[in-house]
Amino acid sequence: MVVAAATSAGFVSACAEAPDETALSDHTDRYGELSRALYPGAGPDSADDGRFAALLSVIPATEGALDIVSLSDYQRARNGAAPPGVDADDAEIDRWYREIERASRLWPVAFGGRHSEIGAWRDEVGFSILDVDAAVEAGVAPDEVRAYLGVDSTLVDAAVRADPGWSGELERRQRRAGMLYDWGETADPARAGASRLFGEAGRLLVDGDVAVRTSSAATMDDVIATLGGSARPMTSLADDPAVMEVASTLERLGVYSAVLSDTLISGEEEFSLSDRATDSSRRRWAGFRGSVAMLEPYRLLGFGLARDVDAETLISVIVIANESPTAAVGNAEALRRTIDEGSSFRTAQFWRDTIEIRTIGSAGSLTIAVVEPATADAIAQAWLQRDSLFWVPDTL
């Protein structure tokens, strides 16, 4: 199928009118046209592209790093709304942030449960969720890495040196990779704060406008090696072609909050671990399994939120890096069939009642879907709950 080039949301409609074909498969750069239709100005030359790549370049490609990677482009999520000035009072800041959070369903990546305590974050580390352009969080505790793009190194230095709760333990060391702030291995819940939910000490490396934070010394050593600050070579997630292909495609489609993961979800495993594993439910399971169009095992899954400026709605974008173009076409059809005909293993609700397909297709080895979910977090919840939307064939 050949779809005429479009510069408006008409391209989405054109794709949606061809349910029997993979709408993107004939043109490997078709997602670039789609991005410009959904998000004016987005595309290879967009100033909003590249932040995900910059953040991924500081994340060490260690085992488990791709279990879950969360990214938020706060600059794009603000949609041109400038934050309040530094002299704004707490009420003004709170009103502005809550409106942005409501409109974009912003994920506070790398800022934790006290992300809205703007003043406390600025006092403790010199920046807050309002001050950075983007952030990433990769891996799981105690080896997680958090990175922030758009910090002011002068403000960071002043804040950490003046912080009355932690400056006493602070050691500053200039490394080839940047200035390292090290508070040691202390964990003191009595000194918990906005940037230290459990009173953990940790480390902060600042290089230009990028800050990287870790809890463990070993993880920070990996970060420094990734940035070329030691004799030990270490690659970053940005060195993985599949990671970059998925991340850049999400950016081109206007995504501002995203998750990447190489974890495969087995339907058989989910069933065996659930409380449905009884004799009667096994019969139901046999029928359910036969109705699910499972995905072929893939290299990497990415999904996230974008804003459809024409319709003034939030959309979800799903990008899957496959082993081959043939697998990408197959997974496009499997995902389409799952949404059109399948149901949730967790809720038994039809996917088509909660997810409206805008377009699903393939571009090279990528499967790409643009959908409108009933709730902004529907796709994220399907993945977090290991639901049947993303199942691969049984491995047990």
The 10s digit of each residue's pLDDT in 9-26 is 333 333 333 333 334 333
Identify the pLDDT of residue 185: 84
For residue 215, being part of any structural domain is answered with yes
- pTM for this model (two decimals): 0.83
As a whole number of angstroms, the distance between CA 5 and CA 279 comes to: 54
As a whole number of angstroms, the distance between CA 149 and CA 136 comes to: 9
Tally Cβ neighbours within 10 Å of residue 1: 14
Same domain, 113 and 253: no
Q: Is the model's pLDDT at 289 over the cut of 80?
A: no
Total of domains in the chain:
2
Q: Is the model's pLDDT at 268 over the cut of 70?
A: no
Same domain, 228 and 301: no
For residue 67, being part of any structural domain is answered with no
Of 170, 201, 235, the residue that ends a domain is: 235
Query: Averaged over 149-176, what is the pLDDT?
Result: 94
For residue 345, being part of any structural domain is answered with yes
For residue 70, being part of any structural domain is answered with no
Same domain, 213 and 177: yes
Strands 134-138 and 69-72 turn out to be: antiparallel
Q: Is the model's pLDDT at 70 over the cut of 50?
A: yes
Same domain, 210 and 253: no
DSSP 319: E
Of 215, 235, 255, the residue that ends a domain is: 235
Identify the pLDDT of residue 142: 78
Q: Is the model's pLDDT at 261 over the cut of 60?
A: yes
- Summarised one tens digit per residue, pLDDT across range 343-371 is 888 888 999 999 999 999 999 999 999 99
Same domain, 260 and 387: yes
Share of the chain above pLDDT 70, in %: 76
Q: What SS3 class is residue 295? A: coil
Q: Is the model's pLDDT at 180 over the cut of 70?
A: yes
For residue 205, being part of any structural domain is answered with yes
For residue 61, being part of any structural domain is answered with no
Note down the domain range covering 147: 82-235
Same domain, 268 and 384: yes
For residue 249, being part of any structural domain is answered with yes
As a whole number of angstroms, the distance between CA 387 and CA 380 comes to: 10
Same domain, 313 and 287: yes
Same domain, 143 and 252: no
As a whole number of angstroms, the distance between CA 293 and CA 339 comes to: 9
- pLDDT tier at 81 (50, 70, 90 boundaries)? low
Q: What SS3 class is residue 378? A: helix
| Higher pLDDT among residues 114 and 237, named by residue | 237
Of 218, 235, 252, the residue that ends a domain is: 235
- Summarised one tens digit per residue, pLDDT across range 207-219 is 999 999 999 999 9
For residue 182, being part of any structural domain is answered with yes
316 near 304, Cβ under 8 Å? yes
- One-letter amino acid of 359: T
- pLDDT tier at 29 (50, 70, 90 boundaries)? very low
